[in-house]
């Protein structure tokens, strides 16, 4: 069980959610014929998207996704392969929560030059990155990063 931010496309707009068990999207929220909660995992077909780094304010968040619409719906509704149809009854609400910068601060990291997409291929910038961290504010670092990644 591990919380993880997942980027889901909701009607063409990517939105960030935190799932209690991101590997499977949580347990199914469907109701069985015996009136109990389904014990299947919501998603069991392996990785279908890549990992992205997104900025939320001045923080970096490593996310899984964005997920394609059909897969996103399965995560979003937290349903297994048996209970993902609209006529399947719900046993409970999904357990994900919308990503919140304050609540999920531990899932974020400070932006550093060597964590910015595209810059990993350059020679190590650690001393430079550490100097930047020590001497510039997060807003200044982000501005610098923007300048350095222009045109990548
Ligand atoms: Zn189910």
Q: Ligand 1 centroid vs 133 CA: distance in angstroms?
A: 47
pLDDT of residue 91: 96
SS3 123: coil
Whether the full predicted model's pTM is greater than 0.85, yes or no, is: no
Residues 81-92: tens digit of each pLDDT: 899 887 899 999
Reading the block at residue 47, the tokens are: 């990785």
Question: How many whole angstroms separate alpha carbon 22 and alpha carbon 40?
Answer: 14
Q: Is the peptide bond before 9 cis (omega within 30 degrees of 0)?
A: no
Which regions of the chain are under pLDDT 70? 1, 112-135, 151-152
Please check whether residue 16 is in contact with residue 61, taking contact to mean a CB–CB distance below 8 angstroms. yes
Question: How many whole angstroms separate alpha carbon 18 and alpha carbon 41?
Answer: 16
Q: Ligand 1 centroid vs 71 CA: distance in angstroms?
A: 15
* Domain residue ranges of the chain, discontinuous segments joined by +: 4-106, 112-149
Question: How many whole angstroms separate alpha carbon 30 and alpha carbon 77?
Answer: 9
Q: How many helices (H) and strands (E) does the chain have?
A: 3, 6
Q: Ligand 1 centroid vs 30 CA: distance in angstroms?
A: 5
pLDDT of residue 101: 92
Question: How many whole angstroms separate alpha carbon 80 and alpha carbon 25?
Answer: 9
pLDDT of residue 52: 86
> Per residue, what are the HEC states of 39-80?
CCECCCCCCCCCEEEEEECCEEEEEEEEECHHHHHHHHHCCC
Residues 67-77: tens digit of each pLDDT: 888 788 888 88
Q: Ligand 1 centroid vs 39 CA: distance in angstroms?
A: 7
Q: Ligand 1 centroid vs 13 CA: distance in angstroms?
A: 26
Question: How many whole angstroms separate alpha carbon 2 and alpha carbon 22?
Answer: 7
Q: Ligand 1 centroid vs 22 CA: distance in angstroms?
A: 17
pLDDT of residue 31: 95
The neighbourhood of ligand 1, an ion, using CB within 5 A, equals: 28, 30, 38, 40, 80, 82-83
């Amino acid at each position: 069980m591990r919380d993880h931010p997942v980027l889901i496309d909701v009607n063409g707009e990517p939105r960030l959610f935190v799932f209690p068990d991101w590997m499977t999207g949580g347990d199914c929220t469907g109701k069985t014929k015996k009136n109990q909660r389904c014990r299947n995992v919501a998603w069991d077909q392996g990785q279908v998207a890549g990992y992205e780094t997104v900025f939320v304010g001045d923080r970096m968040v490593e996310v899984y996704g964005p997920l394609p619409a059909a897969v996103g719906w399965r995560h979003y509704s937290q349903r297994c392969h048996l209970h993902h149809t609209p006529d399947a009854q719900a046993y409970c609400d999904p357990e994900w929560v919308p990503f919140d910068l304050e609540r999920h601060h531990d899932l974020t990291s400070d932006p550093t030059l060597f964590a910015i997409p595209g810059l990993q291929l350059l020679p190590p910038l650690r001393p430079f990155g550490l100097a930047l961290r020590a001497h510039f504010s997060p807003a200044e670092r982000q501005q610098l990063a923007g300048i350095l990644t222009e045109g990548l």
